[in-house]
Structures are given as C-alpha cells and as structure tokens.
C-alpha cells in the first residue's frame, strides 16, 4: 500500500526531538525544547514545538507560521514592542526577523516553516 496523503499533526504521530538554545543565544533561565516534526520535505517543516521557561535570542532566515496551543510567551522584535502570546494566538515570523523569545509559562505551538 502506498503512503497515505493524510498526515495527523500530533505528539503521538512523531518521535520527539529535544534540545536547548545555543549558549551564545541564551539570555536567562534554562529553556528546554521538544519538537514533534510531522512533516519534513522539500523545504517544508511542520509539527508541534514546546519550550519551558527562559529567554533567548532568535533570528529567522526562513518563513514560519505559528499557532499557540498552550502557555504564555513574549516575543520582541529588535527595535519593536513586546508582544505577549497566549493559547489561540497565531502569527508569522518573516525571513530577517531578529529579536528575543521569552517563555513565561511552558508554551506549545503548531508550526509550519518554509525555507
């Protein structure tokens, strides 16, 4: 039978990957990331990502759509205002975005990344 063209995006359908921010990006805390990649092909990545409290620098060369499922985070673009994100919020980070991500309460998001 061929591979199904229907693909659920959930933590049961993928093996979790874990990591921490690179030491040079860490600002505070000891954040721990867990990622469940549902799809990774042809420059497209999507799945679920979770982070524990902490703050680190971020910079994007890719385009990312995010939808917050749980938790509270604050994103600040360089030279911009802080944006508090909670469950139900959706946003896009465009290539060239630079700033900080701070997880106040463990945050889980759905994401779609396009290189």
Which of these, 56, 9, 59, lies nearest to 32 by C-alpha position?
A: 56
Quick check: is 31 in a domain? yes
Quick check: is 57 in a domain? yes
Quick check: is 41 in a domain? yes
Residues in CB range of 83: below 8 A, 6 or more apart: 74, 75, 76, 91
Quick check: is 49 in a domain? yes
In the predicted model, is pLDDT for residue 45 greater than 70? yes
Quick check: is 8 in a domain? no
Quick check: is 74 in a domain? yes
**Angle (CA) 76 68 95, round 5°:** 50
Q: Structural domain tally of the chain?
A: 1
**What is the distance of C-alpha 113 from the center of its chain?**
9
Structural domain span for residue 101:
16-114
Quick check: is 42 in a domain? yes
Quick check: is 55 in a domain? yes
pLDDT digits (tens, 9 = 90+) for 55-91: 999 999 999 999 999 999 999 999 999 999 999 999 9
More confident residue, 49 or 12: 49
DSSP assignment letter at 70: E
CATH number, domain at 100? 2.60.120.10
Residue 1, pLDDT score: 58
């Amino acid at each position: 039978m061929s591979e199904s063209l229907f693909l659920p995006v959930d933590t049961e359908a993928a093996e979790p990957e874990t990591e921490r921010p690179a030491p040079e990006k860490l600002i505070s805390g000891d954040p721990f990331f867990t990622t469940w990649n549902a799809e990774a092909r042809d420059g497209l990545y999507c799945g679920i990502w979770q982070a524990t409290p902490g703050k680190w620098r971020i910079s994007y060369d890719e385009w990312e759509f995010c939808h917050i499922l749980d938790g509270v985070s604050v994103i600040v673009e360089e030279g911009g205002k802080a944006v508090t994100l909670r469950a139900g919020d959706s946003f896009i980070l465009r290539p060239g975005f630079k700033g900080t991500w701070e997880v106040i309460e463990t945050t889980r998001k759905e994401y779609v990344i396009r290189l």
